[in-house]
Amino acid sequence: MSAGETSTASIEEVLARLESTISQLADGTAPLDELVAAHQRAAGLLTDAQERLDALKARADRLVAALKE
C-alpha cells in the first residue's frame, strides 16, 4: 500500500494492512530484503494509523466540548 493508497483507505483498512505486515515480520521466513521492506511498510503504516487516530480523537474531543456548551 503506497502513501497515495493509505490516504484514501479507511483507518480499518490501514490497521488491517499493518496487522498483515506485522504477521509477515513475525513469521520470519521471508528473505531478508522482503523483511526489511515489510519493516519499512509497517513503520509507514503505523505512522499513518497514529496520525489518523490522533485526528479522530481531536474530532471527538471537539464534539464532546461542543455538547457541553
Asked if pLDDT for residue 4 goes beyond 70, the answer is no
Structure confidence by residue, pLDDT tens digits, 17-65: 999 998 888 888 888 999 899 999 999 999 999 999 999 999 999 999 9
Domain boundaries, position 33? 3-68
> In this structure, which long-range contacts are made by residues 63-66, counting pairs with CB atoms below 8 Å and at least 24 apart in sequence?
none
pTM over 0.85: no
> Residue 4, SS3?
helix
Phi then psi for residue 29, to 5 deg, are -95, -10
Number of domains, the chain: 1
Phi then psi for residue 67, to 5 deg, are -70, -25
DSSP 18-49: HHHHHHHHHH--S-HHHHHHHHHHHHHHHHHH
